C-alpha cells in the first residue's frame, strides 16, 4: 500500500460518481428486497416458535425443537462464512454467485433467524390476559394471531425490524467482499485494493446516512403505531 | 330454572413436585337471571372454577352443565360457539390497546363473523348502554379505569350472552368507581335478564349486587346460600371473617377500641348482633334493658344496603351483674338474631 496522508480522504475528483450511484442503488435494492423477505419469513418463524413453545402435544414439541435448532445454527454462523458456505445453494437457486441477486439467499438466511427470535420474544410480551379474554369470546388460533398477537406487538416488531434492517445493510457491505456489488464492494475494490480512500469515505457516509434514515423512520413508525400511552 | 350446575367438580393441576388441588368436589346450582357471588381469598379456586364454565380450564373430574350441555362433551368448535354465549369481564379489563374503544367492543362480533356495518352498529348501541357513546373513537389508554371496565362490559355483552362472568372486575377500581360498576351490573342484570357470576374477594361487591353467595376456601365451597342468610348467620370461620370485615370496616381499629373497653371495664360482656332488614336493632336493645337488670352501651353500629334489604350490625356492651348478662345472651340467641359474644368474663 502506498504511503498516503490524511489528505487522501478528500480527493473528490478521483471519485467516479456514476459508480457510487450504481453501488448505492445495489445496496438499497439488496437491503429492501432482503428485508421484505426477512420480515415475511421472520414473522412466520417467530409465530411458529411462539405457538409451539410449551403448548403440549408431540408435534408442537417436535416442531419447536427442529425450528429452534435451525434458528440457533444459522444465527451462530458468522455472515462472511455463511455466504461462502451457501455458494452451491445460491448457485442452485439464483443461477449465479455474483451480483446483488446472489447475495439475497445468504442475507435472508442469516437475518431471518435473528429477526424470528426477536419476534418470538415480542409475542411473549403480549398481555396473556388479553389473549385469554379473546379466547373466551370463542376465538380460534388464527383469530388470536391476526387480531391480538400481531396488532398488539406491532411497535416491537417494527423496532426489531429496524434493528434487523440495519444489520442487513452491514451484511450487504460484507457480501461486497465476494462480489455482490453495492457500496461494500465499491469500498473494498476501489477503496482498499485501488487505494482510493475518498471512495471508502463516501461509501461510509452514504451507508451511515442510510442507517440514520432507517433508524429515524423506524422509530417514527413504531411510535405512530403505539397507542399505549396517549 | 337452573342455568348452570357444577356436579362434584374437581380440578387438579399437576405441578413438577406436587399436585395442586385448585378446586375440590364443588357442587353448585345457579338459577337463570340470578346474580351469584363467589367470594374467597386469592388462591381459593374461584377463578379456576369459573374458567371451567367456558372451557378455559377443563375439570379433572365432575360435570359442568350449562342448560342441557355438558361442557366437557363439547368439541373444540362447539366449545367456541358455547363461549360466545358467555361474556367475561376481568380485573385488568384486558382490552386491546391497539384498537379503538368501538372496535374493542365489536371484536367478539368480528370473531363471530358478523358484517362490519352490523357489528359497528351493535357496538355503538352497547357503548351507549354503558354510558360511553362519545368515546368510541378513543383508544383504551385515553380512558380511566372505570371507563375501561365499562368498555369491558360492553364488549362482554356483544354476543348477547346468557351468562356474564365478572372475575374480580372491580378489584382494581377505587371505591366510588366500584359502586358505579356494580350498579351498572345490577342494571344490566335487571334489563337484560343475564345471569351474572360475580367472583370477588370483597364482601362489599357481593353485598351490593348478589342475591346468593358461595364462600370458597382452599378449593372447596365452605358455605353457600342466600345473601341475607350468609350475612346474618355466617357459620364458617372464613365467612365470618368476610362478614365482619364488611360489617365493621377496619378490623384493627375496632379491635383496639374493644381492647380499651375490655381493659377499663373487664366485668361486662361485649356482643355483636347482626340484623337483617325485617328485624330492627332498637326494639331489641330497649327490650333487653326493660326485661333485665342490664344497661346497654353501644360501641359501634351500622347499616348496609343489599339488593334484598338492609343488614345492620351492632356491637354493644352489657353493663350489669354476671348472671343477668348470661340471661341476656341466652335471650338474644333465642330471638334468632345472629349473636356473637366477643367478650364475656
pLDDT tens column, A104-161:
999 999 999 999 999 999 999 999 999 999 999 999 999 999 999 999 999 999 999 9
pLDDT of chain B, 345 residues: tens digit per residue: 888 999 999 999 988 888 889 999 999 999 999 999 999 998 899 999 999 998 888 899 999 999 888 988 888 888 888 898 999 999 999 999 999 999 999 999 999 999 999 999 999 999 999 999 999 999 999 999 999 999 999 999 999 999 999 999 999 899 899 999 999 999 999 999 999 999 999 988 998 899 999 999 999 999 999 988 888 888 888 898 888 777 766 667 778 888 888 888 888 888 888 877 666 555 778 888 888 888 888 888 888 777 777 778 888 888 888 888 888 888 888 877 778 888 887
Could you tell me if B103 and A192 are in contact, meaning their C-beta atoms sit under 8 angstroms apart?
A: no
Model confidence at A1, pLDDT cuts 50, 70, 90, reads very low
Q: Which set of grid coordinates corresponds to residue B87?
A: 361474556
**What is the residue whose three cell numbers read 435473528?**
A114
User: Is A162 part of any domain?
Assistant: yes
First-to-last C-alpha distance (Å) of chain A: 58
CATH class in words for B249-343 = alpha beta
Q: Which set of grid coordinates corresponds to residue B145?
A: 379505569
Give residue B307's pLDDT.
Answer: 75
The four Cα atoms B219, B220, B222, B228 give a dihedral, to 10 degrees, of 80
| Nearest beta carbon to residue A137 from set B90, B111, B138 | B111
User: Is A2 part of any domain?
Assistant: no
Start-end ranges of CATH 3.40.50.300 in chain B?
2-242
* Inter-chain residue contact B90 with A138, CB threshold 8 Å: no
Q: Roughly what angle, to the nearest 10 degrees, separates helices A150-175 and A197-225?
A: 180
Q: Which CATH number covers residue A32? A: 1.10.3720.10
Boundaries of domain holding A98: 14-225
Start-end ranges of CATH 3.30.70.260 in chain B?
249-343
* Inter-chain residue contact A133 with B110, CB threshold 8 Å: no
Tally of domains within chain A? 1
A132 touches chain B (CB under 8 A): yes
DSSP-derived pairing of the beta strands B35-39 and B195-200: parallel
| Best CA proximity match to B322, nearest among B345, B298, B297, B288 | B345
| Best CA proximity match to B226, nearest among B204, B205, B207 | B207
B110 touches chain A (CB under 8 A): yes
Cβ neighbours of residue A62 closer than 8 Å, sequence gap 6 or more:
none
Question: For A65-82, what is each residue's pLDDT tens digit?
Answer: 999 999 999 999 999 999
> Residue A95: what are its φ and ψ, rounded to 5°?
60, 20
User: Is A3 part of any domain?
Assistant: no
- Which residues does chain A have within 8 Å of residue B80's beta carbon, measured at their own beta carbons? 138-140
* Inter-chain residue contact A151 with B159, CB threshold 8 Å: no
Give residue B250's pLDDT.
Answer: 66
Tell me B48's DSSP state: H
User: Is A39 part of any domain?
Assistant: yes
A7 touches chain B (CB under 8 A): no
- Top residue of B111, B155, B159 to mutate, by most chain A CBs within 10 Å, is B111
Could you tell me if B201 and B168 are in contact, meaning their C-beta atoms sit under 8 angstroms apart?
A: yes
Could you tell me if B178 and B190 are in contact, meaning their C-beta atoms sit under 8 angstroms apart?
A: no
Q: Does the pLDDT at position A167 exceed 70? A: yes
Q: Which residue has the higher pLDDT, A10 or A62?
A: A62
Q: Which set of grid coordinates corresponds to residue A143?
A: 383469530
Give residue B329's pLDDT.
Answer: 85
In CATH, B2-242 is 3.90.1150.10? no
A56 touches chain B (CB under 8 A): no
> Rounded to a whole number, what is the distance in Å from the CA of B95 to chain A's nearest CA?
6
- Which residues does chain A have within 8 Å of residue B96's beta carbon, measured at their own beta carbons? 130, 134, 147-148, 151-152
| Best CA proximity match to B211, nearest among B90, B342, B76, B33 | B33
Q: Does the pLDDT at position A102 exceed 80? A: yes
Amino acid at each position: 500500500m502506498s504511503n498516503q496522508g490524511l489528505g487522501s480522504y478528500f480527493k473528490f475528483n478521483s471519485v467516479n460518481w456514476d459508480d457510487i450511484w450504481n453501488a448505492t442503488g445495489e445496496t438499497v435494492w439488496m437491503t429492501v428486497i432482503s428485508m421484505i423477505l426477512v420480515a415475511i419469513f421472520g414473522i412466520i418463524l417467530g409465530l411458529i416458535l411462539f405457538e409451539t413453545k410449551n403448548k403440549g402435544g408431540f408435534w408442537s414439541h417436535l416442531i419447536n425443537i427442529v425450528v429452534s435448532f435451525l434458528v440457533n445454527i444459522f444465527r451462530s454462523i458468522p455472515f462472511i462464512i455463511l455466504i461462502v458456505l451457501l455458494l452451491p445453494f445460491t448457485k442452485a437457486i439464483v443461477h449465479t454467485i455474483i451480483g446483488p441477486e446472489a447475495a439475497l439467499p445468504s442475507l435472508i438466511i442469516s437475518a431471518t433467524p435473528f429477526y424470528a427470535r426477536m419476534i418470538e420474544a415480542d409475542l411473549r410480551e403480549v398481555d396473556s390476559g388479553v389473549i385469554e379474554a379473546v379466547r373466551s369470546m370463542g376465538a380460534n388460533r388464527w383469530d388470536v394471531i391476526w387480531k391480538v398477537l400481531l396488532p398488539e406487538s406491532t411497535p416491537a416488531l417494527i423496532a426489531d425490524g429496524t434493528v434487523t434492517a440495519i444489520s442487513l445493510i452491514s451484511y450487504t457491505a460484507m457480501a461486497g467482499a465476494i462480489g455482490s456489488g453495492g457500496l461494500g464492494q465499491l469500498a473494498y475494490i476501489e477503496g482498499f485494493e485501488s487505494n482510493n480512500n475518498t471512495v471508502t469515505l463516501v461509501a461510509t457516509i452514504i451507508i451511515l446516512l442510510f442507517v440514520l434514515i432507517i433508524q429515524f423512520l423506524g422509530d417514527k413508525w413504531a411510535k405512530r403505531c403505539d397507542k399505549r400511552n396517549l | 330454572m337452573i342455568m348452570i350446575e357444577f356436579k362434584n367438580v374437581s380440578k387438579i393441576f399437576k405441578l413438577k413436585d406436587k399436585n395442586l388441588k385448585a378446586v375440590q368436589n364443588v357442587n353448585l346450582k345457579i338459577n337463570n337471571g340470578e346474580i351469584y357471588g363467589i367470594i374467597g381469598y386469592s388462591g381459593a379456586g374461584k377463578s379456576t372454577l369459573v374458567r371451567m364454565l367456558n372451557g378455559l380450564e377443563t375439570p379433572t373430574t365432575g360435570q359442568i352443565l350449562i342448560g342441557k350441555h355438558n361442557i366437557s362433551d363439547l368439541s373444540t368448535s362447539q366449545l367456541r360457539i358455547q363461549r360466545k354465549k358467555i361474556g367475561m369481564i376481568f380485573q385488568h379489563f384486558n382490552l386491546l390497546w391497539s384498537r379503538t374503544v368501538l372496535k374493542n367492543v365489536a371484536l367478539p362480533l368480528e370473531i363471530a363473523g358478523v358484517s362490519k356495518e352490523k357489528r359497528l352498529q351493535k357496538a355503538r348501541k352497547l357503548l351507549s348502554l354503558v354510558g360511553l357513546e362519545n368515546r368510541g373513537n378513543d383508544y383504551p389508554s385515553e380512558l380511566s379505569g372505570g371507563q375501561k371496565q365499562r368498555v369491558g362490559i360492553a364488549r362482554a355483552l356483544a354476543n348477547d350472552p346468557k351468562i356474564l362472568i365478572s372475575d374480580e372486575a372491580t378489584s382494581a377500581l377505587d371505591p366510588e368507581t366500584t359502586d358505579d360498576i356494580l350498579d351498572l351490573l345490577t342494571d344490566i342484570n335487571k334489563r337484560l335478564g343475564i345471569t351474572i357470576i360475580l367472583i370477588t374477594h370483597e364482601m362489599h361487591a357481593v353485598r351490593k349486587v348478589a342475591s346468593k353467595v358461595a364462600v370458597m376456601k382452599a378449593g372447596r365451597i365452605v358455605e353457600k346460600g342466600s345473601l341475607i342468610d350468609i350475612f346474618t348467620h355466617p357459620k364458617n370461620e372464613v365467612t365470618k371473617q368476610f362478614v365482619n370485615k364488611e360489617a365493621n370496616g377496619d378490623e384493627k381499629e375496632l379491635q383496639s377500641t374493644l381492647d380499651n373497653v375490655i381493659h377499663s371495664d373487664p366485668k361486662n360482656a361485649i356482643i355483636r348482633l347482626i340484623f337483617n332488614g325485617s328485624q330492627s336493632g332498637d326494639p331489641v336493645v330497649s327490650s333487653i334493658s326493660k326485661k333485665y337488670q342490664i344497661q346497654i352501651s353501644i360501641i359501634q353500629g351500622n347499616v348496609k344496603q343489599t339488593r334484598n334489604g338492609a343488614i345492620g350490625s351492632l356491637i354493644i356492651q352489657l353493663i350489669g351483674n354476671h348472671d343477668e348478662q348470661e340471661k341476656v345472651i341466652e335471650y338474644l340467641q333465642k330471638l334468632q338474631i345472629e349473636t356473637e359474644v366477643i367478650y364475656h368474663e
